[in-house]
Structure 1
């Protein structure tokens, strides 16, 4: 069947220390670092909660890719611990976004819809490319799956940012930006919980196997 993989070569591509996995992580790390620097500056300039939330996502992902590169090839328990750290960090970043969004709502700031739209398109292209590149690793162990979850959530978030830009432009109000930032934060907390749950399961399995 086309698209199915049954030989040893295909299986080796999805191993935690494979050349394909490391190369994908390096590319994703470079893209996320560049996008964080660009988006945080433009998000502040545009006074957009959703752009700033997306920039924090890029920063969190860059850190996660760095951790994944560091534990590639290590024992399952170490990779599970790394995934656990990433899961909690993703949840905390989501909470930080919620606090930032609440502040923007209190301050009554109005974001610049044009800047949001341009940056949203660039971010979608970046995250969409990364998500496609990491798609084949989505069903692997917790550490590798956590990378896929982050990239998937980011691509969804970028679509939401574009919707927020259209909403701000059409309504002349900040509420679409605030709603999208809240949704993105919720996705972050939910994705973090998914990662933590699988990582804890793998740690329990590893501890049981060692006894």
Structure 2
């Protein structure tokens, strides 16, 4: 039937031009930018490595949503390039989190468990809402999937921050906070690698498609 799509490329293109997809990105961008500002202030005030790690993740996601909005409706090659950029930026942010965690371990300051708990709950509601909103787009191309991976990782990270707050309160040491920050960094690296791998595959496939068509 004319106008019907029965392949992944067509379905992905339709989804990219879906007004609901654009709206979801704008909402996610606004929430992430606001949460970064609030959480970085709280993280510094509480001396929490995991809160600061989560704040950096919010900043990275806000930038990633902005990149996704800039390539909505473009060809798969440009969307894959955007996803590749996001994958590398996620990996670099994870490296920055590891460096920050090492500094906190050296400084030896005990973080404020009460602040960690309050901010962690707020961030969990924010990221949980974003993850639910973006769930329907999780099986798209690398650009769309990268957005889902970021939102999923954020929600998991918030649960980890709450666990770290309980650990700090229960043990009276900073190690639960440092361990969670390190795990969040590794999760970021893993998510970045998943995005890079899929985007690289889509770029390679887009280069081969014209050759196949010409043959």
TM-score normalised by the shorter chain: which range applies?
Answer: over 0.9
Matched, 1:21 2:21: yes
Q: CA deviation at 1:14?
A: 6.1
Corresponding position of 1:202: 202
> For the residues of structure 2 that align with 1:193 and 1:16, how far apart are their CA atoms?
23
> For the residues of structure 1 that align with 2:12 and 2:198, how far apart are their CA atoms?
22
Corresponding position of 1:31: 31
Q: Residues 134 and 158 from structure 1, CA distance in 2 versus in 1: closer, same or farther, beyond 3 angstroms?
A: same
Count of residue pairs brought into register by the alignment? 203
Give TM-score scaled by structure 2 length: 0.92
Q: CA deviation at 1:210?
A: 2.1
Matched, 1:103 2:98: no
Q: Residues 48 and 68 from structure 1, CA distance in 2 versus in 1: closer, same or farther, beyond 3 angstroms?
A: same
Give TM-score scaled by structure 1 length: 0.94
Corresponding position of 2:181: 181
Corresponding position of 1:70: 70
> For the residues of structure 2 that align with 1:109 and 1:17, how far apart are their CA atoms?
48
Which has more radius of gyration? 2
> For the residues of structure 1 that align with 2:196 and 2:24, how far apart are their CA atoms?
23
Structure 2 unaligned blocks of 5 or more: 6-10
Structure 1 runs (4+) deviating above 3 angstroms are 11-14
Matched, 1:170 2:170: yes
Corresponding position of 1:129: 129
Q: What is the SS of the residue equivalent to 2:29?
A: helix
Q: CA deviation at 1:12?
A: 8.3
**Is the contact made by 2:12 and 2:140 (CA closer than 8 Å) also made in structure 1?**
no
Q: CA deviation at 1:79?
A: 0.2
Corresponding position of 1:193: 193
> For the residues of structure 2 that align with 1:185 and 1:55, how far apart are their CA atoms?
12
> For the residues of structure 2 that align with 1:127 and 1:14, how far apart are their CA atoms?
26
